[in-house]
Amino acid sequence: MNLIVRHRRHGPRPTMASNRYTHLLSCGLALACFALSLPITAAGRDIGLAAGSSYDIGSGRLDEALSLLVHQSNVQLLYSPSLVRGKRSAGLKGRYPPAQALSRLLDDQGLTAVSVTPNTYLLQPAPVRPQRQLRNGSAADSRAMQATAHAALTELASVTVVGSRIPRNSFDISVPVNVITAEDIEKSGAGTLYELLREQPGMLGHNPVEIAYEGRIGSLQPIVAAASVSLYSLGPRGTLFLVDGRRVASFGFVTPNLGGLFDLNSIPLSFIDHIEILRGAASANYGADAAAGAVNIVLKRDVQGAEAVVRYGVSGRGDAQIRGASVSYGAQTRDDGNLFVSADLLARDALAGDARNWHTQDLTRFGLPDYRVPLGVLSRNFGTTFPLQQCRSAGNDPDSPYCSVDAPRYATLQPEIRVNSVYARWQQPLGDATSLEIAARGSRVEQALQTPPNIDYLFITDPGHPNVDIPDDLPDDYISSPVRYALYDLGLPRNRTTSETFDLAIGLRGSVGRWNLKLDLSRSAQRTNSTVSNLLRSSGGDSRTLSRYRVFGENDPALLELMSSTIHPGGRNTLDSFEANLDGALFRMAGGPVRLTAGVAIRTERLVDSPDPLQLEFLPSQLVVPATSHDISLHSTSTFAELRLPLHRKLQVDLAANHDRDNRFSGSLSTRIGLAWAPHERIRLRASVGRTRRAPSPQEWRNPYEGQLRPELMMPLATPLLTPCVELGQDRCLLGGGAGENPNLRPESSRSASVGITLAPTDAFDLRLERYQIERWDEFGLSNAMYHPFLHPEGLIRDANGVLYRISEHLANIGASKSSGWEASMNYRFRGQTWGTFDFYLGGHYLLRHATSTIYAPQRIDDAGYNNPKLSLLGSVKWRYGDWDTTLAMRHFGRSRSYGPLSDCRIEHSDAGKCANPSMTLFNLRLSYSGFDRWTLSLNVNNLMDRQPINYRAFSGNGYNIAMDDPYGRYYIFSTAYRF
């Protein structure tokens, strides 16, 4: 019976349509876990502790020999079928440890085996000799080694262990997985991990400038700067980030609108070996917060030798310079251990808002209105503005700061970044079947940005006022109207955020008989401090203070100091985790061994939010919501299991379940079931359905308490649901405001489904097509009991006599969303005898629908193609010839509407034919030369054609799409690498 381990399939989660099926799955997994708990027989212990196994493998095809080795030794092999196709083996007889048996079997095959776990090995092409050695050999040897080098880069992507806690081949798992290799990272031209991931199809970038405003650009709340991405427009709450398969602490600051974030700037690209993007329901494998998928960032390990890299980048306009350097060293320790250490420095200058002409609210160059904010006296209906005398003196020029404010010109396009990072990893075998791993990573990230000037309203418009130059011919309908002006002399609000991250993980890997054991103990800590200056105090905008302020005049520095404020908020988040799991074969079925992984994870997360005292006193008026200090601890336990059932050599069923429970919420179960069918060795069909129930995170538990430190007086209408209350005149109630917990809160639920096909008609060509759908309901959000008391009766707080005296905000189940779309990718490899090798890649994502609704507005709103385009593509052509390596990469995103889903195209936009923002295609070019001994020189030219963003959206567009567009223009990156 042959075991085709190259088709190691993954265990999707059982998504059961009813409780009956969920119970059946849970019972099945429980029985499997019970089987694990049975004592291991003496024979089993002998197998695990023996110095080796006896082999009797005759000569013949290599794939058949590998199958016999697996059967006779009970090890697990992962490899791509094309690696062994057409190869023959001389056979193997005798008793050997698994590693030695594989070495003898693969001798002279150009392949090597790398240990993944004590009982699992990954086959890959043998290391390639340096180019300088190739020049001493024949031309045929050179071409052969070039082909092997390419195989090492392409085949590994198809055998990376991803998508499951059971090691498996990515070609064979039942959920879609994308892998970004080290080569892809090197040739991308990206300066940071955020820039790399936001360009991937189906990914949505969350720019540091956007996060600084907590998703509310224009609110003048630059409290913190960070960078992140999410899958399928479902936001950061639905995408889980892992580092080496482990959870890490969220960003130390809490962002109420975006939830807990992972700051991608904290991991430099030089540390990364590859990135695995598991799309679709990953909750049954990794926890309930992976409803849209998981991103696993795998750091480098088992590296030999030393390398130093220096990078320098500059835009074609001479700004936004980037300077970087990294050093790394890897060496083998005794008993086949490995030590790897690396350090990375990165510095990038800010890109100012006025550095690019397109960054403006003035759209007259497109035949559209000027949407800059006019300054002056507002009419009583706030419809038009009458200019002040200073504006008249400037000729009513809209470019004059006396006449209008073009907010984007003052707002940073890309923040200044300084990153210092170190990373070390030590792996040491402790005998034949056990190994110890210790990894530590630390980083310090500084990010700085600025925002537009404070804009306020002065309610004094009498002509001749000593502090305001109001023209004498002010129309009657402007009398007693406010003056809108910009506080330029107060200074631009500025933010500088410093975040420090430290991760420590200790892992023990071993085997007992047929079972692999994995123990992990880790601590992840993230601390963030921010300085926000030049904020307008709430007391700075009162009538007494403003009566002394001279509009567009010279003001007393003492007065400006009284009006402005600087705050220093901070926060930290720590995550302590212990995880244990077993992986092994239970018994054999028609298609091979039934494999089970089961385990438990215990976590303690602590979130500490430390606002500045001024925030607690409600003094900075620009804060949308005043802040409140928090110290929230969450203790959680997760139990998980995955089962791989090879019903037939060509048919496999995967089951997975994950049960989460914490000290604040009752347990929630996530399940998934998947199917993988190979009707032909070059065709793979897969399907997966999943169901997830997610409890609130610490960041969400904190959300209702924003701004509720002291009661806020409210006077709503005395409707029947609010009475009896303390009534005022005109049938109104006098009520206090506050926050509390919701005893009726339900878990946030989601279900997902995906179907896909992978075709590999030849060794040189493969095609993947996926269709997915993710639906969420009972989404968490803030209640609104004042306007919807019938929906939130628990928020109506009454005294002993039944009189309503307070309305409490709380976390509630208020939202729903549904996202669906298509994904596709294609690879083609061409081997030329004369012109080297060519690789073609094209990947794409098409968002069919992204509909959202709330209990307050039940009708679903589909915003696909509005805020962001439906179509995104990523492609590349790679050419290798001798010592030269050339890559031409393409990124394309389609059209998007220039108005929101709740409105129609504006009349002026319709008349100008500007109801849709145009599509955009960007090209990047990379040239690399390795003909010098030990040296590699590279040049990247990003945005080769110097395409400029075009965005017609009024008011909020600011000339570009902050999540998609490239703000730099043509950009050059030079790098030099030297291997010792």
Backbone φ, ψ for residue 139 (5° rounding): -65, -35
* 433 secondary structure, DSSP code: S
Q: Is the pLDDT of residue 445 over 70?
A: yes
Please, is 587 exposed, middle or buried when counting C-beta atoms within 10 Å of its C-beta (0-12, 13-18, 19+)? exposed
What is the C-alpha end-to-end distance of the chain, expressed in Å? 48
Q: Is the pLDDT of residue 264 over 70?
A: yes
Distance CA 222, CA 334 (A): 51
Distance CA 3, CA 592 (A): 5
Specify the higher pLDDT residue, 954 or 38: 954
Residue 134 confidence (pLDDT): 40
Q: Which of 165, 173, 161, 202 is nearest to 284 (CA)?
A: 165
Residue 622 confidence (pLDDT): 47
Q: Is 326 helix (H, G, I), strand (E, B) or coil?
A: strand
Q: Which token pair is 314?
A: 């500059």
Residue 271 confidence (pLDDT): 94
Q: Is the pLDDT of residue 256 over 60?
A: no
pLDDT tier for residue 126 given thresholds of 50, 70 and 90:
low
**How does pLDDT run across 467-484, given as a tens digit for each residue?**
777 777 777 777 777 888
**How does pLDDT run across 662-697, given as a tens digit for each residue?**
887 777 888 999 999 989 888 999 999 989 888 888
pLDDT tier for residue 255 given thresholds of 50, 70 and 90:
low
Q: Taking a C-beta distance cutoff of 8 angstroms, is the pair 165, 599 a contact?
A: yes
Q: Is the pLDDT of residue 107 over 50?
A: yes
Please, is 720 exposed, middle or buried when counting C-beta atoms within 10 Å of its C-beta (0-12, 13-18, 19+)? exposed
pLDDT tier for residue 709 given thresholds of 50, 70 and 90:
very low
Question: What single string gives the DSSP state of each residue in 214-263?
Answer: TT-TTS--------EEEETTS-GGGEEEEETTEE-PPPSS-BTTTBS---
Measured in residues, the chain has a length of 980
Can you tell me which residue has the tokens 């302590």? Answer: 576
Question: What single string gives the DSSP state of each residue in 652-714?
Answer: EEEEEEEEEEESSS--EEEEEEEEEEEEETTEEEEEEEEEEEEPPPHHHHHGGGTT-SS---B
Residue 787 confidence (pLDDT): 84
Q: What integer is the mean pLDDT of 616-631?
A: 58
Specify the higher pLDDT residue, 839 or 253: 839
Can you tell me which residue has the tokens 């006599």? Answer: 801
Please, is 440 exposed, middle or buried when counting C-beta atoms within 10 Å of its C-beta (0-12, 13-18, 19+)? middle
pLDDT tier for residue 159 given thresholds of 50, 70 and 90:
very low
Residues 6+ apart with CB under 8 A from 948: 356, 358, 969
Residue 82 confidence (pLDDT): 60
Distance CA 830, CA 823 (A): 24
Bridge partners of 755, per DSSP, are 687, 771
As a whole number, the mean pLDDT across the chain is: 81
Distance CA 97, CA 655 (A): 32
Q: Residue type at 344?
A: D
CB atoms < 10 A from the CB of 834, how many? 6
Give a three-class secondary structure readout of 486-513.
ECHHHCCCEEEEEEEEEEEEEEEEEEEC
Q: Which token pair is 58?
A: 């005759």
Residue 943 confidence (pLDDT): 95
Q: Where are the alpha helices (DSSP H) in 404-447?
A: 407-410
Percent of the chain past pLDDT 90, that is, above it, reads 37
Residue 28 confidence (pLDDT): 43
* 553 secondary structure, DSSP code: S
Distance CA 317, CA 546 (A): 42
Helix (H), strand (E) at residue 92: strand 92-96
Phi-psi domain of 211 (left: phi exceeds 0; alpha: psi -120 through 50; beta: other): alpha
Distance CA 253, CA 259 (A): 10
Q: Which of 114, 138, 156, 76 is nearest to 593 (CA)?
A: 76
**How does pLDDT run across 210-245, given as a tens digit for each residue?**
776 654 444 445 567 778 888 877 777 788 889 998
Residue 157 confidence (pLDDT): 35
Q: Is the pLDDT of residue 124 over 80?
A: no
Q: Is the pLDDT of residue 859 over 80?
A: yes
Residues 6+ apart with CB under 8 A from 916: 895, 896, 897, 898, 952
Please, is 108 exposed, middle or buried when counting C-beta atoms within 10 Å of its C-beta (0-12, 13-18, 19+)? exposed
Q: Which of 486, 717, 506, 521 is nearest to 603 (CA)?
A: 521
Distance CA 297, CA 805 (A): 51
Q: Which token pair is 831?
A: 């081997």
pTM of the prediction? 0.82
Side-chain-side CA neighbours of 196 within 13 Å: the count stands at 28
Residue 222 confidence (pLDDT): 53
Q: Which of 948, 951, 949, 947 is nearest to 915 (CA)?
A: 951
Distance CA 745, CA 700 (A): 12
Strands in 855-931 per DSSP E: 861-862, 871-881, 884-893, 896-897, 916-917, 920-929
Can you tell me which residue has the tokens 């500084």? Answer: 446
Bridge partners of 900, per DSSP, are none
Distance CA 112, CA 734 (A): 77
Q: Taking a C-beta distance cutoff of 8 angstroms, is the pair 685, 38 a contact?
A: no
Residue 584 confidence (pLDDT): 87
Q: Is the pLDDT of residue 184 over 70?
A: yes
**455-458 β-sheet, strand order:** 385-386, 376-378, 483-486, 455-458
Q: State how far the alpha carbon of 315 is from the alpha carbons of 223, 942, 946, in Å.
A: 28, 9, 10
Question: What single string gives the DSSP state of each residue in 765-825?
Answer: EEEEEEEEEEEEEEEEEE--TTT-TTT-GGGEEE-TTS-EEEEEE-EEEEEEEEEEEEEEE
Of the segments 376-380, 812-816, 925-929, which one has the largest average pLDDT value? 925-929
**How does pLDDT run across 519-573, given as a tens digit for each residue?**
999 999 999 998 988 888 765 556 566 667 788 778 888 888 888 888 888 889 9
* 616 secondary structure, DSSP code: H
Percent of the chain past pLDDT 70, that is, above it, reads 80
Q: Is the pLDDT of residue 131 over 80?
A: no
Q: Is the pLDDT of residue 208 over 80?
A: no
Q: Is the pLDDT of residue 727 over 70?
A: yes
Helix (H), strand (E) at residue 146: helix 139-154
Taking CB atoms within 8 Å and a gap of at least 24, the contacts of 18-25 are 22/669, 22/671, 22/691, 25/655, 25/657, 25/671, 25/673
Q: Is 71 helix (H, G, I), strand (E, B) or coil?
A: helix
Q: Taking a C-beta distance cutoff of 8 angstroms, is the pair 511, 48 a contact?
A: yes
Distance CA 389, CA 472 (A): 9
Distance CA 182, CA 257 (A): 33
CB atoms < 10 A from the CB of 267, how many? 28
Residue 47 confidence (pLDDT): 35
Can you tell me which residue has the tokens 């969350």? Answer: 206
The reply to whether omega before 724 is within 30° of 0 (cis) is: yes
